[in-house]
Structure formats: structure tokens, C-alpha cells
Amino acid sequence: MNDDYSDKNPALGALFVEHIETVAARHDHALELAGASHAIIYSGNPKFAFLDDYQMPFKPNPHFVSWAPLTRLPYSYIVYTPGKKPVLIYYQPRDYWHVVPGSPEGFWTNQFDIRVVHTTDDVAKHLPRNRDNCIIIGEIDDDTNTFGIERVNPTTAINILHYARGVKTQYELAAMRLASRRAAAGHTAAEAAFRNGLSEYEIHRAYCKAVSHTDPELPYGNIIGLNHHGAVLHYTDFDRQAPAELRSFLIDAGAVVHGYASDITRAYSFGDQRFQDLIDQMESLQQDIVSRVSVGVDYRELHINTHKMIAQVLVDAELAAGDPDTLLETGVTSAFFPHGLGHLLGIQVHDVGGFMESEGGTTIDPPSGHPFLRLTRVLEENMVLTIEPGLYAIDMLLENLRGTPAENHVNWNTVDWLRPFGGIRIEDNVRVLVNDRENLTRDAFAQL
């Protein structure tokens, strides 16, 4: 594996020291307002399939990953006390059925007092004696994992930590740039597989090979849709046979580096110039929206403006007729573009805090008629978010326009033309700057 992606990357190590200082300061603040002295962050534990001893793929607590780039370390804990070096209780079972975590090593180790334990019973001796002064953060499905700590995920502390996570540290930004580079390589391999006439399943395999991920290691299930499958927003049912006639390809796929995700979407035409022209229009629109990302921008307004811009694309493509405000108010644009413009991105693909107005937990509602918008905040420096406008022929949504004032604004003959192509979505990962922005995705493709 590329050393840039490994825990031997010295550039990440140099940034990690300041990252830990920032994470510690956030927990200092959270503990103070929660009236506690110690934060215990639980990594989580594997889940078992119903009536079986099969373990589902392990997904770590993102709060734990924000402290340490350890995504395969269940039953482990970080103990943080303000003013002291955080303790990492590193669970390394004695097990001959599975591969156990190796000895702790990497750029992150110097920032922790590491205590290796071999049984869960050994965890307790490394926790603070006075459990009443502790809070524990994580998914707790077995009370024995709390070791008597009663305050689990207190709202005051969680709100502070979630709100703060919207702004990324320099270490996090560096990891996300690497995740974008990794995914860009996968997208390039996937496009080549599409051009070679391969099936959805084979394209998926080409992508995974290029990013060096197994399916459970992907940040989310790859969306790989040929032809009309591109109209299914979360299409993950890969056909094993290529269609008799290739028309289009939509891929929404990301990658992970040290627990931080990328999330990239592209659409392609298989030689149909009319559909390619529509992709080009959406590409231009998407880049226009990206150019508007800046500190102080209300993301809700950006979303509404995108609908008005898509209205113009619909008119230019002869999919609809009318002025942008009318097409927005009658629901025409929402039928063609039903999802939100984007979301926060980080440890989680849909990172937490997208609706939060403040660390106090108050929230900001999405605009009326746009329930699926996942980001409603005013943009701050070093937020990372997605910009992903789309345009699709989704039969269920278009049929809902029948019998309404919107029906006469739709050119149904052109919709019939678009239907076999499915749809278009173009998504970049963008860092917010003062009067500027950094496009992690475009930079990654440029570096290939």
C-alpha cells in the first residue's frame, strides 16, 4: 500500500500533534459544561447476525476515530482527563480464531499513554476510580461496557463535540486529501471498465482494486448504475451481466484514509452526444455552485439557488418550460432534483452537526419543501462539504406531477428520451475558505 496512506506518513505525524491539542481542547470545554472530570471514549464492539455467531463488519465510534486513527480496534477505550496525556486502553485479545490487533505503532502513538490489555476485565484497572466524575461516549449495547459509569452520551457534551467537528483540523484535511486521491484513482479505473463494456459488478471490482479496499472498508456502499439504474439514487444492486446496449454510467463512490472519507460522483455517456451535452451543462452548473462556496454563505440559500439554476438547465434541454421561480414553486425542479445539494464530510460520510445552529444544540430547519437537505448551517472556514447537484428521470416523482399545475410545464417527450439514461450527478468535496475554496476532488484528479 502507498506509504502516503499508511500510519508511517511523517507529514501526517507532524500535523497530528496539533490535531490532538484541538480535540483535547474541545473535550475540555465539553467536560466543563457537562460538570465532569473525565471523558471515556469507547471504540465500540462488533455486532452479530441474528441467531448466528457471524460478526458484522466492525464500524468504530467516530468520536474514538477523531482521537486516534484506529478503525479496527473494538473493545478499546480512550481516557481523557484535562491537563493529562490521554490514555489509550488498547484491547489485544489472545485469540487463535481471528487476527488480533498488532502492537501499537505509527505516527500517532507518541500522543498517548498506551496500556495494552488482553481481556475486557483488565480494562477497569485503567479507568478513573471515581466513576461519578466520568462521562462515557459511544454506542453502549451492553452495560458491562460502561464499567459502572452512569452518564452515557450526555447531551451537553455531545452537542459541543458534534458542532465542533464541523470544522476540520489540518491533520483531518490532509487525511481527506489523501482519501480524495485514493478515490480519484478508483473512479478512473471504473470509467475505463465502463468504456470497456464491463458489467456493474465488474466495474465495482475494478474500483475496489484501484482503491485497495474490500467492501466493508469502503466509506459507503458503492453506487454503480448503468443506463436507467442511474435514476435510482442509492443503487447498489450490481448486475452481473452488462446490458445489451450501453448508454450511460453513474458512479458515486469514495475511499477512506485513517478513518476519513471522500465522497465523489461522476456521470458518463457512452457515445450519445445529446446526453453528453446534458452532462456538460450539469458540469458547468456544478462548477458554478462550487465557485460560490465561501465563509459566511448560508448553505440553504445555495441549495435554493441550485434549484433555480437547474430550472434553466431543464429549459435549455427542453425537459421543461417556464421561468425558474415557477418551476421551483410548482415542484418541477424537485421532481428532477429530489435530494439535497450536499452535506458535511469527515469521519462519517454524512458527518454530524449539519443541522446545528450552535453548540447548545439548537437546529436549523431545511427550507420548506426540501426535507432531504442535510446541511443547513452558515459555512465556516475549514468545513468540508459536498456539492452534488443532480438531474434524473425518476418515474415515481414525475408521475406525482400529473394532475397538478406542474404537469403542463414538463416536456414529456423529452422525459421519455432521458429515461433510458437514468440521470446525472456530479459531486466534489470542497473545503471552505475566506472568499475562496479548495476543491479536494478536482485537485485529486489533477494529480493522477
For 257-291, the pLDDT digits (tens) are: 999 999 999 999 999 999 999 999 999 999 999 99
Residues 160 and 174 in one domain: no
Residues 134 and 191 in one domain: no
Q: What value does the mean pLDDT take over residues 7-18?
A: 91
Residues 13 and 159 in one domain: yes
pLDDT at residue 268, rounded to an integer: 98
Phi/psi of residue 114, nearest 5 degrees: -95, 125
Residues 175 and 118 in one domain: no
For 312-329, the pLDDT digits (tens) are: 999 999 999 999 999 999
Residues 306 and 348 in one domain: yes
Residues 319 and 441 in one domain: yes
Residues 118 and 212 in one domain: no
Confidence of residue 78 (pLDDT cuts 50, 70, 90): very high
Confidence of residue 179 (pLDDT cuts 50, 70, 90): very high
Side-chain-side CA neighbours of 282 within 13 Å: the count stands at 28
Q: How many domains does the chain have?
A: 2
Residues 6, 10: Cα–Cα separation, whole Å: 10
Cβ proximity of 171 and 229 under 8 Å: no
For 331-340, the pLDDT digits (tens) are: 999 999 999 9
Query: Domain of 11: which CATH number?
Result: 3.40.350.10
Q: Which residue has the cell 448466528?
A: 52
pLDDT at residue 16, rounded to an integer: 97
Range of the domain at 366: 170-446
pLDDT at residue 172, rounded to an integer: 98
Residues 294 and 159 in one domain: no
Q: What value does the mean pLDDT take over residues 75-97?
A: 96
Residues 384 and 237 in one domain: yes
375 has pLDDT over 70: yes
Q: What value does the mean pLDDT take over residues 207-215?
A: 98
Point out the domain boundary residue: 122, 140, 164.
164
Q: Which of 3-7, 376-380, 403-407, 425-429 has the lowest mean pLDDT?
A: 3-7
For 344-370, the pLDDT digits (tens) are: 999 999 999 999 999 999 999 999 999
117 has pLDDT over 70: yes
Residues 270 and 373 in one domain: yes
1 has pLDDT over 90: no
Q: Which residue has the cell 430547519?
A: 365
Point out the domain boundary residue: 164, 191, 218.
164
Query: Domain of 378: which CATH number?
Result: 3.90.230.10
For 122-155, the pLDDT digits (tens) are: 999 999 999 999 999 999 999 999 999 999 999 9
DSSP string, 379-405: P-TT-EEEE--EEE--HHHHHTTTTST
Global pTM exceeds 0.95: yes
Residues 252 and 376 in one domain: yes
Residues 409 and 342 in one domain: yes
pLDDT at residue 2, rounded to an integer: 66
Point out the domain boundary residue: 164, 189, 224.
164
Q: Which of 47-61, 165-179, 284-298 has the lowest mean pLDDT?
A: 47-61
Start-to-end CA distance of the chain, whole Å, equals: 16
